[in-house]
Amino acid sequence: MSDQQYNTLAKELSQWNQEHVLTFWKELAEDERNGLVDSISSSMDCATLDEAFKRAMATDTSAKEDLNEWLRPLAKDMLLSVDDTTDAELEDFRQLGLEQIRLGKVGVILLAGGQGTRLGSTAPKGTYNVGLPSGKSLFQLQAERIRRLQQLAGAGARIRWYIMTSEHTHSETLEYFRLNRYFGLPAEQVRMFRQRSVPCVDFEGRIIMDQKWKLATAPDGNGGIYRALKDEGILDELQKAGVRYLHAHSVDNILIKVADPVFIGYCIRKEADCGVKVIEKIKPDEAIGVLCEVKGKYQVVEYSELSNESANRRNPDGKLTFNAGNICNHFFTTEFLRRIAETVLPLHVAKKKIPYIETGDAGTKGQSIKPSKPNGIKMEKFIFDVFPLAERFVALEGRREEEFSALKNADSVGFDCPSSVRNDIYRLHRKWLLSAGALEITPSDNSSDCEISPLLSYAGEALEKIATSKSFHCPVHLMADDEEQQNK
């Protein structure tokens, strides 16, 4: 960098009270200087950062309106429960979804920007092996569900898979897929793209330094999907490829029905431009948001925003009134995504303990500090903040035991952890075998393991030949024929 370029950069930073970013410039090696400049240029410009900080803090510090008096449960004509639907209706949705998959009109967007930090890993969460008999990671399970679904849809079916990573997971995720040969999918069918990162700032809006040559940054939340799809050219690719419908979901739900044809078909039948799959919230204090109607618009209300009265309110049948639990499972039309791509979404503030390099205090200048209390904020967008923009919004309530088991914590926490999601898989797969005609599934002294490969069955179908009138003794691990050949 020339002296003139440095002076221009320093002047720009000084105008916005961010000159501390260059505190260690003179002691940096050339490659470190280049890295710092790249870190600055790849982040949002100072004016945009300042505006975002002020907007986020204004939202965070303003007196929030109490939504509870405006809450209304979802209207019956826009929420359908799988439990209240006939087999014929579900099959109609399923066949419509499979038809659109066969025609190449369905794609999947996987939200995979997070690391397994709470699991004790810095690797992308999708690479995590929860300890199933197969040793398959979250990524592999989801890839194989796509492969099986394409088989069910018929010859020529192809589901394009778009994986949103972050600066912290992109390279490692790409290498992981390459090493594993994309888990049997053609490489050109899998497209990875990065969500944006935003500088972490202190409570005065000053950028926090992660290293002397690097800003502290964080992904801009799962709501960053909309801008990233546009900026990375995905929206144009979707239109060119003729993909009309997208299923978007988070990576950490081990039971996710990827591109669920029933969900896809239902949303298409209802002519929805935006849809969501929910599960019944059973406990008032369960830490998941709920989908509600607020002032005539549908939105997710976080569990922390519900009053005790609202959270505990029940219908005459005993069910919670506000029970449509949000599980980050969404349907979008491509046209809807194009329409809202540049919408300015609310910024949510997450106060965090962010390690930093001291740039001010003379006594500790240059030292790496790990704060004991929150010292800064990360600014995030939420994927569900576009719901009020939908012209035709619908919801489908699935069965928790078939649809949702989140991996978030280490086993020491005791829930939403590797052991709990494994057991949820085992319970579901035992149910599949019994439904397919198995006589019994008996545990051994030290195992109740029961795993069925996604390549053998997507959602319990086609197991009759294997299961009818047979008894199984755990551990059980059933695979597709080609898998068994490969594992010999």
pLDDT tens digits, 162-199: 999 998 899 999 999 999 999 999 999 999 999 998 99
- For residue 52, being part of any structural domain is answered with no
411-414 LR contacts (CB < 8 Å, sep 24+) = none
Q: Does residue 358 lie in a domain region?
A: yes
Specify if 201 maps to a domain. yes
For residue 353, report the phi and psi dihedrals to the nearest 5 degrees. -90, 105
Taking 50 as the pLDDT cut, the residues of the chain under it are none
The domain tally of the chain equals: 3
Q: What is the DSSP letter of 113?
A: -
Q: Do 80 and 187 belong together in one domain?
A: yes
User: With pLDDT > 70 as the criterion, what percentage of the chain qualifies?
Assistant: 97
DSSP 8-class letter at 61: H
Q: How far apart are CA 159 and CA 101, in angstroms?
A: 7
Print the domain residue range for 424: 417-487
CB 183 within 8 A of CB 148: no
Q: What is the CATH number of the domain that holds 334?
A: 3.90.550.10
Of 408, 437, 471, at which residue does a domain stop?
408
Inside any domain, residue 216: yes
Q: What is the pLDDT of residue 360?
A: 81
- Give the Cα separation of 22 and 445 in Å (integer): 63
Pick from 408, 434, 468: which residue ends a domain?
Answer: 408
Contact 478, 445 (CB under 8 A): no
Give the per-residue pLDDT at 61.
64
Residue 53 located in a structural domain: no
Q: What pTM does this model have? A: 0.93
In a domain, 49, yes or no: no
| pLDDT for residue 367 | 92
Q: Cα(305)–Cα(297) distance, rounded to whole angstroms?
A: 17
